[in-house]
Structure 1
Amino acid sequence: AYPYAVDPAELPAVLWTAHGGQAAGTALARVLAGDVSPAGRLPQTWYADDADLPGLLDYDVIGARQTYLYFEGTPLFPFGHGLSYASFAYGDLTARAGDGAVRVSFSVTNTGDVTADEVAQLYARAVDASVPRPRRELLDHRRVTLVPGETAELDFDVPLTAFAFWDVAQDRWRVEPGAYELLAGASSEDVRLRTTVTLDGEPTLPRAVLATGLAAAGFDEQRGIAIVDRTKVSGDAVTPAGPEPGELVYHACDFGRGVREVTVEVAGEGTVELSLDGGPALAVLSPAAPTSGPYDYVSLSASIAAAGVHDVRLKLRGPLRLAHAGFSG
C-alpha cells in the first residue's frame, strides 16, 4: 500500500495492487486478460525522486509543501491517478452556491471501445486565501460504469463546510469569503474542467490576544520549531527542533488600547524573546533555573508596551518548551 521508486520509461504499462485478499490472483488475471477494465486510483502521491520527500518526522505539511495538497513539483504519478482500457471525456461543468451547499454538475462520456469504470474527481482551491491553503483539495468523487459511447450526468452536493479551514487564530473551522475554483477531472493533476464560485463566509479577524493569548502551537509561520506534547496526557507545546534558535510568527495580534505585561508558560531551560513586526526584542524571559522535567511548567512575566495590531514574533533558545503566551493591560 506504499509508493514505489520505479522508472516506468521502459515499461509499456504498470499494474499495481495492494492488500490483496484470497481472490487477488483471479482479479489480477481478469484485468490482465482484459475481461474487466481496471479502475483503481492512487490514494497517495508517488514522488519521482527521493529529493522530493521531506524528513521522515517532519509533519509540517504546509511548510514542507508535502502531499498532493501542497507539493509543487512534478510527481511520478499524482494522487488520484489511474488508467483503464477506455478513455473518457468530460463536459458541461456548472456550479451554483446556495442553501448551505454548492451544487456541482458535469458529464462523463466513455469515448473508448470497451465497457469501463471512470472515477470522476472534484477538487477545489481558494483563489485569494488569507493564509496558505492547498493547491487543490479533493471534495468528492464518483465511480461510474459506462459502455462505449455512454454519457453519465454527475451531480454533487458539496456542503459549505467542505470549504472550511482550521483557523489557528480563532481556534476553529472557518469558511473564508471569496472565490473558489472548482476542478473536475481524472486525477489531482489531470484536470479537464474548471469553473469558479463565490462563497459567503466569515471575514478574517485579528487575534484577540487580550482574551485568549497565544497558544504556542497555533502559529502562522515557524522556522526551526518542532511541535511536542505539552503533557503526557494532552495538549501541544513547541520547542526548537535543533541546537539553533527557533522562531514563531503570529500574524495580526490585536492588543487593543494597550498591554503592559506578557506572561509565558515554559518548561526546561532557555529563553523566550518577544518582538513585534520584526523589531528589537521587547522582552526576554528565562527560568531562573531549569525546571525539574519537560512537563513541569512555570509562568514567567515581563513588562512590555504594545497597542493596536501587530505581528508577534517569539524566538526560542535552548531546550525550552513553550505552551502559551498571555497578555494583560
Structure 2
Amino acid sequence: GTALARVLAGDVSPAGRLPQTWYADDADLPDLLDYDVIGGRQTYLYFEGTPLFPFGHGLSYAAFSYADLETRVTDDALHFSFTVTNTGDVPADEVAQLYTRAVEPTVPRPRRELVAHSRVRLEPGEQSTLTFEVPLPSFGFWDVARGAWRREPGPYEILAGASSEDIRLRTTLLLDGEAAAPRPVLRRGLDAADFDEHSGVAIVDRTKASGDAVTPAQGRSAELVYRDCDFEGGVTAVTATVSGDGVVEVSLDGGAVLAVLTSQAPDASPYDYSTQRAEIIAEGVRDVHLRLRGPVRLAHVGFSG
C-alpha cells in the first residue's frame, strides 16, 4: 500500500513495462486454444491492428529523448549505442528497448522482435549512452525447409524506442547469410508439422515421448502446403507414416489429386503408426499439397524413385 501511494503521489516515478500486448477489443483475440500466432497475426510480433497498450508500454512522470544511434558489425555480433536524456523535471527510470525486423523476408517474419533492453535511472537533464551487443544468431529463424537455423541475407531494420510501437530511432543494415533453397525431399522427406501454410489442422504429439504429427481439427478436413520441394530427376512413389482411420491425398501445385494413401486402423492406438505407399510421378521443384480427411494422424511423408 505504501509503495502504491508513493507512486500515485508522485514521490516515485513508475517504470514498469508490459510483457505482453493488451488488445483493444475481444474481436482481436484468437480462440483460447489457437496457438498459431503467425497465421492468426497475434502478439506484438505479428499483430497488425492498434492495441490498447503495446508490448513494452509503460508510464513515467518524466519524459525521455533518444538520439545518436550508432552501429558496428563484428564477425559474431552487432553492436549498437544511443543516448537517452531525461527531459523531465523528476528523477526517473527509462527502459530503452531495441527491436529488429527483416525488411525483405522470403517467409513470414515478425513485424519487429525484441533483441535487447536496458533500464537506466536518470536525474532531470542527465544523459546516458546505452550500449548493446546482439549476437548474429539472434537474426536467424528456424527454417522448416532444411530443419536448421538460418539467417537470410538482406536488409534488417534496427529500431530503438520506449515500446514496440513507440520507436524513436531507426537504421537499416545489410547482413549476409544463407539464401533460401528448395526442400531436399528425396533426402529428408517432409515432416508433417513442417508445413508452410495450413488450414483446418491440429498439431498433436507424434509419440508419448517426443515429436509432432498433424491431424484434421475436429469436424474438418486439413489442408497442408509445402513450398519448393525439389524432386530432382524425378520420383515414382510416395509414402506416408500414419495412424488412425482416414485418407491422405497428395497433389502438386494445387492441381488434381495424384496419389491417395489410406489408413484403416480405427481401434488402434494413435501412436501405432504404419507406412502406406502409392505411386506418383513428379520431378523438378514443385509445391506439395496434402489433404487429410478423417481422424488420421500424419507424421511424415517420403518420396522415392
TM-score by length of 2: 0.98
1:269 aligned to 245, 252, 256, which one? 245
Please list the CA deviations of residues 44-100 of structure 1 after superposition, one character each: whole Å capped at 9, or x if unmatched: 001111110001101111001111000111100000000100000011112232221
Q: How does 1:45-194 map to 2 (within 5 A)?
A: 45-194=21-170
Q: Secondary structure at the match of 1:210?
A: helix
The aligned counterpart of 1:13 is none
State the distance in 2 between where 1:289 and 1:129 align: 42
Runs of 4+ off more than 4 Å = none
Does the aligned pair in 2 maintain the 1:267–1:291 contact within 8 Å? no
TM-score by length of 1: 0.91
Q: Secondary structure at the match of 1:286?
A: strand
Does the aligned pair in 2 maintain the 1:291–1:297 contact within 8 Å? no
Note if 1:311 corresponds to 2:287: yes
Note if 1:235 corresponds to 2:224: no
User: Which stretch has the larger CA shift, 290-299 or 112-121?
Assistant: 290-299
The aligned counterpart of 2:231 is 255
State the distance in 1 between where 2:165 and 2:196 align: 28
Does the aligned pair in 1 maintain the 2:263–2:296 contact within 8 Å? no
Q: CA deviation at 1:30?
A: 2.0
Does the aligned pair in 2 maintain the 1:101–1:159 contact within 8 Å? yes
Q: What is the identity, as a one-letter code, of the residue corresponding to 1:95?
A: T
Q: What is the identity, as a one-letter code, of the residue corresponding to 2:89?
A: D
Unpaired runs of at least 5, structure 1: 1-24
State the distance in 2 between where 1:92 and 1:243 align: 56
1:288 to 1:118, Cα distance in 2 relative to 1, 3 A: closer
State the distance in 2 between where 1:310 and 1:92 align: 48
Q: Secondary structure at the match of 2:27?
A: helix
Unpaired runs of at least 5, structure 2: none
The aligned counterpart of 1:323 is 299
Does the aligned pair in 1 maintain the 2:158–2:171 contact within 8 Å? yes
1:77 to 1:288, Cα distance in 2 relative to 1, 3 A: closer
The aligned counterpart of 1:287 is 263
The aligned counterpart of 1:217 is 193
